[in-house]
Amino acid sequence: MSKLTESDRSTKDARKRVVERLEEVQNTRLTPVQGRRLFRDEAGKHYLVFCGGGTWHGISQSSLPTVREAGDGALVVAKKYKTRIDVCIGALGEFVKNLGRLPQKKDGAATFHITVEEDGLSVDEIPGYFLNTAFHIPLGGANSHEERLRKIGRIINIKVQEPETVSHADAQAKLILVGSYLGYRTFTPDRSQASAYGALGELCSESSVPDDYLGKKKIEEIKHIDVIWFNGDGLPTHGFEVEHSTDVTKGLLRLYQASGISIKMFVIAQEETRGRFERERQKAPFRQIRDKYIFKNYRELDEFFESVKQSSNLRKKFMNEDG
């Protein structure tokens, strides 16, 4: 028997929580029919349950005959994020009728892809088929949150001899640490770069751009932005370009790639660069989104960083925490 990976265990645990919550909501007992996805309740109604953080799911060849015979019931697709599981439900009978539309892999398994929408999920291969969001299951807890704050607080309070000129990596590190302390997931493409606070890759929460919401094309477009903050579910909220020279055009261009997303776009640079920034954002293609660009100088970044450091120290003092 193959050993379960950490990801497999996480998905298995999440699916168990989904089934338990379904039993509570439906006030019934769900019994496995075959494998780990098909269940039947006390009234004979079937539930086909999928759970995971990706955008596709599969039905093994051996399970297809049983699924075809399931008839009416509920198709349950649970989308797992870092902070919650969204449980969406659709008509199983309609899904079963359209099994022939699903592409098959070499091993005979049928696959389908989902698209996250405002109030549920759609199945790409079945036009018009929709699963409504039924309920949410929160993940995580206070202990992990508290430990994260303590860890970031220790790093923020490292005594650093500030140079006369702020380095590009140190500015990135401050943005990463501030974002992390404020509860955002953080990413930088410059993982190997060293800063006064440690390697940037070790400071970030993410080793790659989260794909919870973004497709491959958009990830490719934004993954070179100096620092990105994401909310707990993986939606990008803030993008930062640190411009160490007076040429801000490259930074504006990288941020422009994210203009199709509801994201705040910051250029961090020396104050003397502000004039160039103002002129460049009036040019094509930037002028059509010029109001989305925000300029902050290094002094303003330092003030923000120091305010977070002070907040960390006040919190540590109030909570009577050592170190």
State the chain's mean pLDDT as an integer: 86
Domains held by the chain: number: 2
What pLDDT was estimated at residue 217? 85
Report the percentage of the chain scoring pLDDT > 70: 88
Distance CA 108, CA 303 (A): 59
Of 138, 172, 200, the one marking the end of a domain is 138
CA 301 from centre of chain: 25
What's the confidence (pLDDT) of residue 10? 67
CATH of the domain at 95: 3.40.1350
65 and 181 in a single domain? The answer is no
pLDDT value at position 277?
94
pLDDT of residue 196: 87
SS3 (DSSP) at 136: strand
Query: How far apart are the two ends of the chain, measured CA to CA in Å?
Result: 45
224-280 pLDDT, tens digit per residue, is 999 999 987 788 999 999 997 767 899 999 999 888 888 999 999 999 999 999 999
Task: Tell me the pLDDT band of 1, cut-offs 50, 70 and 90.
Answer: very low
Question: Stretch 305-314: mean pLDDT, rounded?
Answer: 82
Range(s) of the domain holding residue 58: 6-138
Question: Does any domain span residue 323?
Answer: no
At residue 274, the pLDDT reads 93
Runs of H (alpha helix) within the chain: 6-26, 64-68, 92-97, 142-156, 168-181, 200-203, 216-222, 249-256, 274-280, 298-318
* Beta carbons of 238 and 228 less than 8 angstroms apart: yes
**Are 228 and 222 a contacting pair, CB within 8 Å?**
yes
pLDDT tens readout for residues 77-116:
999 887 789 999 999 999 999 999 999 998 999 999 999 8
Q: What is the pLDDT of residue 142?
A: 45
- Which residue type does 151 have? K
The reply to whether 190 and 267 lie within a common domain is yes
How far apart (Å, rounded) are the C-alpha atoms in residues 171 and 83? 28
Asked whether residue 153 falls in the same domain as residue 132, the answer is no
Question: For residue 129, which amino acid is it?
Answer: Y
Domain C-terminal end among 138, 167, 199:
138
3-state secondary structure 226-246: CEEEECCCCCEEEEEEEECCC
pLDDT, tens digit, 9 for 90 and up, residues 116-159: 887 899 999 999 999 999 988 887 654 555 666 677 777 777 76
Mean pLDDT of 65-69: 91
Q: What integer pLDDT is reported at residue 84 of this predicted model?
A: 83
Domain closes at, from 114, 138, 162 = 138
In a domain, 53, yes or no: yes
64 and 103: one domain?
yes
Q: Which residue has the higher pLDDT, 161 or 59?
A: 59
pTM: 0.59
Q: Do 171 and 95 share a structural domain? A: no
- When pLDDT is cut at 50, 70 and 90, the band that residue 317 belongs to is confident
Is residue 315 predicted with pLDDT exceeding 70? no
Contact of 289 with 253, CB cutoff 8 Å? no
- Indicate if the pLDDT at residue 182 is higher than 90: no
Instruction: Place 222 in a pLDDT band, splitting at 50, 70 and 90.
Output: very high
